Every structure is written in C-alpha cells, then in structure tokens.
Amino acid sequence: MPRSVIPGHLLRIFIALLILIAPTASLAAHPAQTVSGPGPFTVTTIYSNIPGHPTANVPGIPGLQFQPGTGNTHFDRVFGSPNGNWILTALTNSGSTLNDEIILVNNVVRAREGSPWPGGTENIGPIDTQVGINNAGQWVFATNTDAATTIDEVIVMISATDVVTVVAREGDPVPGLAGASWGITLDSASVTSNGTVSLRGTGLTGLTAATNAAIVLGNNVIAQRGVTIPTGATDAWEFFDLESYWVTPDGLTYLAQGDLLGATTSDDVVVVNGTVVVREGFVLPGTTFAEPVALNGIINVHLAPNGDWYVRGGNATTLQDWVFSNNGLLAVRDQPIFPGSTENWSDTEFAACFFLHVGNSNGDFVIGGVTNGPTLTNGVLVYNNQVVIAREGDPVDLDNNGLFDDDAFFNTFGNDDGYLSDAGIFYFVANIKNASNVATGQGFFSIDLGSTPNTVPTLEGLAVNSPINENETATLTGNINDPDQGDTFDLMVDWGDGTVISYSYAAATPFTETHTYLDDDPTGTPSDVYTITLTIMDSAGGSSSDSLNITVNNVPPTAVAGPDQAQVVNNPVNFAGSFTDPGTLDTHTYSWDFGDGNIVTGVLTTSHTYTTTGVFTAILTVTDDDGGVGSDSLQVTISTPTDVTMTAISGHSTPLAAVSLISLLALLAAALFFRFRRVSEQ
C-alpha cells in the first residue's frame, strides 16, 4: 500500500491519541481496544477563545474577541429551551473587568456588562451564571447594576423584540409575601413558556432572619425558609442552594436542592413539587444500595422540560458514585458506561466520577463522567446509555474547515455545562489542549445527535512476528472493519521506536506493513518491548486506536582479534582488532587482555611489549551498550634473541644462526674474489 510521511495535522491527532492508549501485552491476533478519536457524530465549534481562529471573534462587534485563557468561565454554563434556543454568558478581551462580560443568545450579543439593556438607563454589572430562555425567545438574567446600592440587584426579562421587563428589583415588594421586599441576592432565574419568571431570593427585608429566603414562580411563593416543610420531612427549609432551582417550561413542575432545619447529617435534600425525592443520610429510594447518601453527598441536580429530574452524588462508606433520576439509576461507578462496553465508570482520577447530566422533553439524556480508560482519554459524554458522543482527547476542528489541523483536542468537559434540545442538538462547553497535552483555551460546541452517525472504523486480527533481532524486519498484519460504504482510510502506525508512518487505503481491507528495527532500545537490556500503536481514521472523521507489542532482541557483536604473532622479547607487538554488529545503532567498548597480566581498554588498535618469553593468548573483547559480548583470541610467541626468528620477504622465518653462517660465507667469497683479482693482474 502507498505510504508517506505523516501529514502534520494527522500527526498531531495521533500524538494526542497515542498518549491516551493503554498498551496491550498480546502479540497474537486480538480484538480492538477502547475507541479513542472523533466520536460517531460531528462536533461543530461555535466559539473558541483561541486567538487567531475565526471562532474567537465575538459576533457583531468587530475587533472584539473572546477572552483568551485556560479558565472554566470564558464560556460559562449554557441554558436552552426545548425548541433549540440557547443562551450563555462569556468573557471578552475588552481589557476591563467592567465591560468584559456579554450575554449571547442564539449567536447574537444581546447584553453587555457596562452598558444598559435596551431602553434602560442603568448599566449592567456582573451577570449571574444561570440565565434562562423559552421557546418564544424571551430570556432572563440576574445582575448587579450601577444604580444605588439599595436597588441595584435586579432580574430582567427581555423579549425577542427587545421588550424589557424588570421582574424583580432589590427593595421592591415580594409577590405573595406580605411586608417582604427583595433583598441583596436575586438569582437562579428561568422563564416558562408563557413568560412567567422563576427565581431565588435571599436576604429578604421585612422578615426575620429565619424566614428571609424564598423561591418564587411569578406571583407564587413555592417555598420559604423556616416556613415550608416538604412532604417526607419534619423540618422546614433552611437554605435554598444557588442555581439549584429549576422549573419546567409549562410551570407545572419545580425542583429545588437545599438544606432543611435539623441534624446536619440528614439536612441536604432534593425536592420535586414539594416532596423529598433524595435525602442525605437516607438510601436512594428503589435501589439495592446498602449505604445511605453520604454527608454532602448530593452534588448537583437537573430538571428536564418534560419533568424528568436528575441527581448525581455518592453514598457513604463505599463512596459509590451514581446518577439517579425519577426513572431509577442511570449510571453507577464500576459499572459499564453503556451495556456491552468493556469500559467502566471510575472515580480513580475524579473523585465525583460524574460531572454532567441533562435531558430533553423526549426522555433523551446525556451523562458526563470519567472512566477506567487510559489517562487523558477517560472523560466521556454518553448519550442515552448507548454511545460515547465525545471523549477527552478527541481532535477538534476549531475553524470548522473539515480538517483536524488546528492542534486542538478536548481537554476536560465543564461541570454541568451542557444543554440538550428536543431536536437532539447537544450544546456544551469544554476546555481545549494541544497535542502536547498543554491547556490552550476553552470552546463552546454542538453535536447533532439526530444526524445519521458515522460508524467508527475498527482494527481486527492484529498480529506481528515476535520476537525479532535488531536490524530485522517486523511484519504487521490486520484488517480494517467499517460497514460504511465509500469510506477511505488513513492508518497511522507508531512503530514504537520514534517512527510514525501514515498508510492510505481506498477501502476497508486486510493490510500488511513492514518495518525494520535497527536497535533494541533503551540501552542496558538484552531485549526490549516496543508498543506498536495504530490509529485508523475514515474519511468521515471516525477514528479508533489499538496497540500490540513486539520484542526486539539485542545481538552481540562479533570480535576479530587478527592472526597469530611472533616477536622477540622486549620488542613491541602490534595488534589490530575489528568487529561486526547487526545493531547499527549500538555503541561499543573494547578491551585487550594480552595474557601476561596486562589489560588495555578503549582501543581496537594498539601495541604491547612482552618482557618474558613464552606463548601468550591475547583476547579482544567487544561489548555493546546492551551488554552483548563478543570475543576472539590470537597466540603471541615471544622468543629470546638467540632463537628469535626473522621474517623474510616471502613471509617465512629463517633462524638467526643460519643468517650468521650465510654472512660468513659471503665475506669469505668476497675475500677470495679480491685475492684472485690481484693474482690475475700480476
């Protein structure tokens, strides 16, 4: 199959996924492991606060961008109505905390801190997190304005056509509570389908401290501190928790969390339409739990438009985490994240385990939590207990150009920062990181859960020949499985030795790819295990990953000491060793043991002088960086001057005594020649 150096944007995707994949020990064929990559649905980036990206621009205000940074409130919690209207607050880079906050409604800036609301004269101040909107486009918010401090706390409703109603103002009478006026805190605002506003007020004036808080729907007091006793309890309300008060669009169902008077071990309650449904210190009703809800064990609540309610928390003693609703237990720690999944909910890395639960009018819901999957990929959003729709570590198409080329990945998902419309559009806020797992910002996203999902491709039957020796070739085989017609595929393989290669396939197919391992690494080991990590991505963006291991053995070097040698005592003998090693990346050390008690290290070529006669065995030892040892030897004959040998040109040796005799005969012959010459000349 064709191969190429992996493109930069795919490499960044792969690196983020690679960090998150847990290695497997099997070297034979085995099924694909946990999916990690883009989910089966397309994620759309609505806004981000990453400078330079189009989604960082504040709509309708040229030059203004969303405030950069890695906090959790650059985009705050999103709220919505059943028909898909949405509203949230966000921070901008205006440069001043006096005017950096805005309210976004369906992609339009509808209010800005430091400016008056339409037709108003006082300026909006800091805006509460909880805002609300209905199907008609009426939206509400709570703020502290720049009016006199005795009247500056307000809740305002604005229609789709900018008709403004100040619903509640500090110092104004509280409907339904004779002699009471709104106090210094007004929050938890929401609006029903007919425009009735619901809110929480504390510090009410004209009442005693024991009765000066209430939750109100229009002109009706739903519950009052020190007065209202919920059904199933014997004590009245003491506190109503901030932003834990919800009303359905039809105004017929309300949910509130807070504390009752009485023992602190059992005072935290969740109340629906005046009846306690979950209580601290009591076992969750209808469950088989042995332990009661823990002290401070109720974490948060949610009320869906159809009246379904959701609570998450944990039990005493075992600290068992759960998501509970009027339909029973929806999720439990240590249980599969959906039926048939091998991935379980876990609180090992996040003590609360779950961080989000929202539902719509159709009974659909999304649960967010942390699993026992690999670190950095174990934060998930699960739809209807059926499918993971987004996962920590998934790549993000930040500029919506259809490519994952922005070095952006989901980092963490915001606690309760999600809203699900009746059409199945899920809006959520998440933090963003880069391929190095460094947090870079925050974004506001949507997923169309009503669209036809892409089937995530999987890898099956993975196998590799193992073990192999260094500088040998591994053969990797497997199958791409994807029922979607027309998809093409990119397979990214990290061979585990620093080599990452992309292979392209025109269809789901069996594949065979090879790679040569030059060395076993790290050093100091006779063999090493490399994790081969594969990520398969289809042309629709679906991705899954798998891994398997291969063992690469070190091969020791082969030493060559050279031919035997002979020399006269006290004369140097020259040694010239060499070696071979298939591990081309190995480093080596050398030593010569000359056989006479002397050793030299660090050289292949050297000389040594023997001071005694005899036959010595010189040994060359070559050691590689993984402990592999090769050695070879030669014999060195050392003689005295009386019996030493000379090496002739031919390479043969002649005894010194023979040399002396030849020299004497040569001198005698010369003398006879000169004597004969003189005789001849006479």
Grade residue 403 by pLDDT with cuts at 50, 70 and 90. confident
CATH code reported for the domain at 558-643: 2.60.40.10
**What pLDDT is recorded for position 39?**
64
**Which tokens go with 157?**
């409703």
Residues facing 491 on adjacent strands: 503, 536
Q: What is the mean pLDDT of residues 136-165?
A: 97
Q: What is the mean pLDDT of residues 431-447?
A: 97
Grade residue 452 by pLDDT with cuts at 50, 70 and 90. low
Sign of CA dihedral 333, 335, 339, 344: positive
pTM of the model: 0.67
Of 204, 212, 247, 254, whose CA–CA distance to 230 is shortest?
Answer: 254
More confident residue, 358 or 665: 358
Q: Tens digit of pLDDT for each residue in 69-88?
A: 999 999 999 999 999 999 99
Q: Tens digit of pLDDT for each residue in 110-135?
A: 999 999 999 999 999 999 999 999 99
Backbone angles phi, psi at 156, to 5 degrees: -120, 135
Most confident of 397-406, 553-562, 658-667: 553-562
pLDDT greater than 50 at residue 541: yes
Exposure b/e, 467-504, CB count within 10 A at least 16 = b: ebebbeebebebebbbebeebebbbbbbbbbeebebbe
**What pLDDT is recorded for position 109?**
97
Percent share of the chain, pLDDT over 90 = 82
Grade residue 402 by pLDDT with cuts at 50, 70 and 90. confident
Q: Distance between CA 229 and CA 437 in Å, rounded? A: 50
SS (H, E, C) 138-205: CEEEEEECCCCCCCCEEEEEECCCCCEEEEEECCCECCCCCCCECCCEEEEEEECCCCCEEEEEECCE
pLDDT greater than 90 at residue 356: yes
Sign of CA dihedral 604, 607, 609, 610: positive
Q: Distance between CA 311 and CA 641 in Å, rounded? A: 103
218 burial level (CB within 10 Å; 0-12, 13-18, 19+): middle
**Which tokens go with 405?**
């080329």
Q: Tens digit of pLDDT for each residue in 619-628?
A: 999 999 999 9
Cβ atoms within 10 Å, residue 363: 11
**What pLDDT is recorded for position 38?**
60
Distances (CA, A) of 550 to 135, 408, 516: 58, 31, 12
Q: What is the mean pLDDT of residues 411-419?
A: 97
Q: Distance between CA 347 and CA 335 in Å, rounded? A: 11
Q: Tens digit of pLDDT for each residue in 558-583?
A: 999 999 999 999 999 999 999 999 99
Of 434, 329, 324, 451, whose CA–CA distance to 387 is shortest?
Answer: 451
Q: Tens digit of pLDDT for each residue in 590-600?
A: 999 999 999 99
Give CA torsion, residues 186, 84, 387, 406, to 10 deg. -90
179 burial level (CB within 10 Å; 0-12, 13-18, 19+): exposed
Q: What is the mean pLDDT of residues 400-416?
A: 92
Q: What is the mean pLDDT of residues 355-367?
A: 97
**What pLDDT is recorded for position 658?**
40
Cis omega before residue 467 (within 30°)?
A: yes
- 3-33+454-551 has CATH 3.50.30.40 classification: no
Mean pLDDT, rounded, of the chain:
89
Cite the residue boundaries of each domain of the chain with CATH code 2.60.40.10. 3-33+454-551, 558-643
pLDDT greater than 80 at residue 381: yes
Exposure b/e, 266-275, CB count within 10 A at least 16 = b: bbbbbbbeee
